[in-house]
Amino acid sequence: MIIIIYDSIDKIYIPITTAAISTIVAGFFWYLRVMQFYPIAPSPLLAGFVRYYWVLEGDVPSGEFYTHRTMACGCPELCFHYKGGFCEVTENKILPSFQTGIHGQSLHYRRFRTGESFGLFGAFLYPFAVPVLLGIPASEINNQMVDLASLLGREGEILAEKMLTAKDNRQRAGILSAFLENRLPHAGSSRVIPAIRQVIHTGGQTPIQSLSDQYFLSSRQFTRVFSEYAGFPPKLFSRLLRFEQALSEYGNKDKSLTDIAYDCGYYDQSHFIHEFKEFSGHHPHHYFFGQAEGTEWKED
């Protein structure tokens, strides 16, 4: 199945296959009945820090609810709820989520619910964008959802107001791009950033010892600096990226669970099942065969 995205805004909206969306929306919300999701490419200046912007809009019929389970993820995302909102559902209570904020890279899955139509604008970031552009160690937001005012103070409040009152998502992309680009002249750097990129682009299958040797750092030094810029130690971060790579195989009817496990670097199917359940709350069989919560929309 191909979902055709609006061909407008200077041709930056693109067609996406369901297999591709399974990776893109791993940590996002989805509604089966009336939903549109599309990515927006960042400016060339920001392409090294922002994987992509995204827009998600959906209509929920009166009296009904939609529940979505997010997955563990190695990359953070800025989120702006410009219409409606979600509540986080835990075992014991239901808590309102922020209206604007950052969802830090996480080892845990979460469940969210809404009973109203909604619109979100997001920025899926590389983890090192947090220390480089926002000025805090990536590890400080691990497993957290932090509202924008708490994260950036008055600057965050001004940005939130601009994003929520913008007339459309093209304007939101421009507002957020200008905000992030203004921080580039003062951005720091680190020699571990290329190492983090390498782990991301290889789906977590880069030998960690070879990376520390490549950058002439001891294992302890490399782990410390890597954690500051990626949020998690290199081995744990690699596990998250390996999991993300496995998620991208959704809809591939030519592969068994064993094939997916070995192709993504798991030792065996048992290892794959254990880690998949830890990061998603789902058994991989239920997930890949469309039996898990929130996966019905992925069926052809």
Structural domains for the chain: 2-186 (2.60.120.10), 193-298 (1.10.10.60)
Q: What is the dihedral of CA 275, 276, 277, 282, to 10 degrees?
A: 180
DSSP state of 297: G
Q: State the Cα–Cα distance between residues 298 and 18, nearest whole angstrom.
A: 6
Q: Which two tokens stand for residue 177?
A: 């791009």
Radius of gyration over every alpha carbon of the chain, rounded to an integer in angstroms = 19
Which residues in the chain land under pLDDT 70? 1-33, 294-300
pLDDT for res 249: 87
pLDDT for res 265: 92
pLDDT for res 14: 37
Q: State the Cα–Cα distance between residues 39 and 116, nearest whole angstrom.
A: 23
Residue whose structure tokens are 């040797």: 213
Residue pLDDT, tens place only, 209-258: 888 888 777 888 899 999 999 999 999 999 999 999 999 888 777 888 99
pLDDT for res 66: 80
- Measured in degrees and rounded to the nearest 5, phi and psi for residue 99 equal -85, -40
pLDDT for res 18: 44
Angle between helices 219-230 and 193-201 (to 10 degrees): 80
pLDDT for res 294: 60
Question: H helices then E strands: how many in the chain?
Answer: 12, 12
Q: State the Cα–Cα distance between residues 121 and 164, nearest whole angstrom.
A: 9
Residue whose structure tokens are 């469309």: 290
